[in-house]
Structure 1
Amino acid sequence: MADLFDTGAAAADLPTTAPRPLADRLRPRTLADVIGQEQVLGPDAPLGVMLASNSLSSLIFWGPPGVGKTTIARLLADETDLHFIQISAIFTGVPELRKVFEAAKLRRQNGRGTLLFVDEIHRFNKAQQDGFLPHMEDGTILLVGATTENPSFELNAAVLSRSQVLVLERLSLADLERLAQRAEQELGRKLPLDAHAREALLEMADGDGRGLLNLIEQVAAWRTKDKLNTDALTTRLMRRATKYDKSGDEHYNLISALHKSVRGSDPDAALYWFARMLKGGEDPRFLARRITRMSVEDIGLADPQAQTICLHAWETYERLGSPEGELALAQAVTYLALAPKSNAGYAAYKNAMRAAEKTGSEPPPKHILNAPTSLMKDQGYGDGYAYDHDAEDGFSGQNYFPDTMKRGVYYTPVDRGYERELKKRVDFFAKLRAKRNG
């Protein structure tokens, strides 16, 4: 269910009269109580299969906040009779880790294993991550790490090779509704919201179960006789800030979604992702740069005007600033999404770069070299050069590649947009070249 539940062992030490947060009161007691994450917990899913075969391995839980990482780790320890230890990479240094490992060794000698749950494991540096390896290999600990960042980038290959990465997903609206109903049962009353306001409350949680329970706790404390509508709810309750880390996964995921929506000629989806990034606090200058790149990479010569429009939108933003200048960028996004697409120029550039790398330092043919000195003339520089303006159709058809190199074909224009005209020119010159060369 939601990672509602990262209160740790400290909650158990509180006096029984101390108020307990709703999230803590609703902490699942078994894996069957967890809401959501069927792709991980189902009978045929990775954890379901591991538990059924009694072969639990080290794990990395990758997912956004509030989706159940801590809760599932704690329940796995219960189901496998392992001693549960929870640490956070933010607050734990090497001395504390040594103590954890020593205690786990003693525990193992006494016949009991240890499930070590490491929250924010990606915040450990390489040396600290390497410190887990011998204790994982000899069975002193079963490591369960939790991270909101892509493990491929943030975790050592050695740790990843000894663990299975499980992706936990944000809770769906249906999952959140089940959680809300469970909260109402615990509270002993219904939330004072009409149907639309209730849906708005679920959307405010943004897939975060713990966040939803915190919102529900606030709503349940209101003393009102009538059900509140959406306007009344949003007046009393601020929407949770959108999850967006300008240097993390969300940054790269959203710019990827924007780029692919433009490439897929979907202006509505492109504008949505553009707006999501702006709402998350992205620098419009970063967006201006990436939009201009899209015009070069995915549209190119199919619409030569696209790049100019992006540069003008960028300049407009610099002159107007936010929020007015962002409209110019939005219009550029719309134009790019609707423009004819071609990556022929991009592909031609990469093909030419590969050929240049392969052929090394092959010299140009001598007939296209200038000969400013008599020595160079004696060496044959410029001999046989045909001046294209004097040739029929203004085209000589001479070879401009190195003499020892087979003629390359790198640019293959598509039959879309302005490149349709360029394709006619490429074909025209190819026929003339064949004619001139017999």
Structure 2
Amino acid sequence: MADLFSHGTQDEPTREAEARPLADKLRPSTLSEVIGQDHILGPDRPLGRMLAENRLSSLILWGPPGVGKTTIARLLAGAGGLHFVQISAIFTGVPDLRKVFEAARLRKEAGQGTLLFVDEIHRFNKAQQDGFLPNMEDGTIVLVGATTENPSFELNAALLSRAQVLVLNSLTEADLEALLVRVEANADLALPLVEDARRALIEMADGDGRSLINLAEQVQAWTGEPLDRAALMNRLTRRAAKYDKSGDAHYNLISALHKSVRGSDPDAALYWFARMLEGGEDPRYLARRLVRMAVEDIGLADPQAQAFCLEAWNIYERLGSPEGELALAEAVIYLSLAPKSNAAYVAYKAARALAKKSGSLPPPKHILNAPTQLMKDEGYGAGYIYDHDTEEGVSGQRYFPDDIPEENLYEPLERGFERELKKRKQFFSKFRTK
């Protein structure tokens, strides 16, 4: 029994090594082995310079999942001679943070620095984020936070002022191909895929290195003839596109859609529209945004654009998904190809600014009603000319308050229907300059 027990204990490290996930086995051992982030890791890049000068400072690593944030933090600790501590903001409360800071303080007193890696750091609330500040300032910890969300919106200004934000990029197809080569070298075995299936596997990872390794680990276990693209797609499920309806991806994609419409590119606009639908966006949200685009960017250059979008929205409400989404897609095309004008939007903002600046100035008396004798005695309505009684249907009287000069707020553009509005405004303006 003793011999058997000893034998089992001796084999335990081997069994543990075999049980480790492939992604963990392939984790780089030096920063030079990290794939795809040369823009921050190169010798003359931010992290390369920090390590060369032995002045590692607190960092926020911002990027999508599976691009190496945890690996880079771990390797930075090793390169800087710091004790590595990893926590997740999802599972860590204030008492846990106090213990982490106290342990780091004891290490500091013993001459050992601590690199604290905080995954999903944006999940901490303001008070928790503030708790890092004194420990960063006195050198108790070097903080490396990881986030998939825009730090500008999710992290306190005080924390951001004490840390450098570094952006990590999604892995390119070339990066992912290099990662597949590592997978095959580790097993000393080529993946059983023909070339088009290999490309499909890379596409399915969608820039996520960890996802690619996990997919490749499944493929490695298959036997038989190499699979083509169709056979691979039958066995594996395509990874859902990265999209968070309340997060950074949401705002990035709606911005891309809006600007593509404004830039009169129907193809790009349709692409971003489809990306949002594929990500699970509520079509009603998109319908509302399309109406906004019609009002803000097309404006009076094509007054029918607003009605077109509202009708598309109405069609969607009647048909639902997926049939009703075609009406919204048609609205995207219509808006993209419509003449553009923000002249009314600019005029509206200028009018609001002028109203705020001018205060409570009353209208000129000649355009005030005078239902009582007292008001008539005060000059209300005196001198008012009824426009319909004039030959041209316009009197040319002044309508601004007496104490401010007349302002030219609306400047129609030479586009679409606004060409006609410009002619009309110029016609009416002649009467006011007599």
1:378 aligns with 2:377: yes
Hey, what's the Cα distance between the residues in 2 that align with 1:313 and 1:17? 58
Structure 1: how far apart are the matches of 2:240 and 2:17? 33
CA distance, structure 2, for counterparts of residue 421 and residue 105 of structure 1: 74
Structure 2 Cα separation of the partners of residues 410 and 49 of structure 1:
53
Question: Do the aligned residues in 1 keep the contact of 2:398 with 2:432 (CA within 8 Å)?
Answer: no
C-alpha displacement of 1:392: 3.1
Per the alignment, in what secondary structure is the counterpart of residue 332 of structure 2?
A: helix
Residue 146 of structure 1 is matched in structure 2 by 146
2-side partners of 1:240 and 1:187: how far apart? 24
Q: CA deviation at 1:432?
A: 2.9
Rounded Cα–Cα distance in structure 2 between residues aligned with 1:79 and 1:392:
87
Q: CA RMSD in A?
A: 1.2
2:166 is paired with a residue whose SS is: strand
Q: When the two structures are aligned, how many residues end up with a matched partner?
A: 423
Partner of 2:3: none
Tell me which amino acid in the other structure corresponds to 2:105.
Answer: K
Partner secondary structure for residue 409 of structure 2: coil
What per-residue deviation string (whole Å, max 9, x for no partner) do you get for residues 293-343 of structure 1? Answer: 000000010011110010000000000011101110000001000101111
How far does residue 191 in structure 1 lie from its aligned partner after superposition? 1.4
TM-score (normalised: structure 2): 0.96
Which residue of 1 is the match for residue 4 of structure 2?
none
Q: How does 1:316-331 map to 2 (within 5 A)?
A: 316-331=315-330
The secondary structure found in structure 2 opposite 1:394 is: coil
**Which residue matches 1:159?**
159
Shift of 1:15: 4.7
Q: Distance in 2 between matches of 1:431 and 1:198?
A: 71
Establish whether residue 350 from structure 1 lines up as the match of residue 349 from structure 2. yes
Q: 2:84 is matched with which residue?
A: 84
Q: Distance in 2 between matches of 1:89 and 1:14?
A: 33
**How big is each residue's C-alpha offset from its partner over 1:377-397, in whole Å with a ceiling of 9 and x where there is no partner?**
011000011111122311111
Aligned to 1:122: 122
What amino acid is the match of 1:161?
Answer: S
Runs of 4+ in 1 over 4 A off after TM superposition: 12-15
- Structure 1 residue 16, shift from structure 2 partner: 3.4
Amino acid at match of 2:345: Y
In 2: Cα distance, 1:138 partner to 1:131 partner: 13
Cα distance in structure 2, aligned partners of 1:216 and 1:179: 10
Residue 14 of structure 1 deviates from its aligned partner by: 8.8
What is the rounded CA distance, in whole Å, between the counterparts of 1:133 and 1:17 in structure 2?
39
CA distance in 1, matches of 2:254, 2:296: 15
Q: Report the AA paired with residue 352 of structure 2.
A: M
Alignment partners' CA distance in 2, 1:105 and 1:13: 33
Distance 1:426 1:104 in 2: 72
Residues 76-134 of structure 1: per-residue CA shift (max 9 Å, x gap):
00000000000000111111111111111110011110000000001111111111111
The residue that corresponds to 1:262 in the other structure is 261
Contact 2:171–2:209 (Cα < 8 Å) also in 1: yes
Q: C-alpha separation between the residues in 2 aligned to 1:114 and 1:208?
A: 29
Give the corresponding residue for 2:421.
Answer: 422
In the TM superposition, what whole-angstrom CA distance separates every residue of 1:208-262 from its partner, at most 9, and x where no partner exists? 000000111111111122x222111111111011111110001101000000010
* 1:238-295 Cα distance to aligned partner (Å, 9 max, x none): 1011111110001101000000010010111101111111111100000000011000
1:42 is displaced (CA, Å) by 1.5
- Measure the CA separation in 2 of the matches of 1:240 and 1:250: 16
* Structure 1 residues 265 and 123: alpha-carbon distance in aligned structure 2, compared to 1, 3 A threshold: same
Amino acid at match of 2:87: I
Distance in 1, matches of 2:16 and 2:283, equals 51
Output the amino acid matched with 2:244.
D
**Paired residue for 1:9?**
none
Distance in structure 2 (CA, Å) of the matches to 1:161 and 1:255: 29
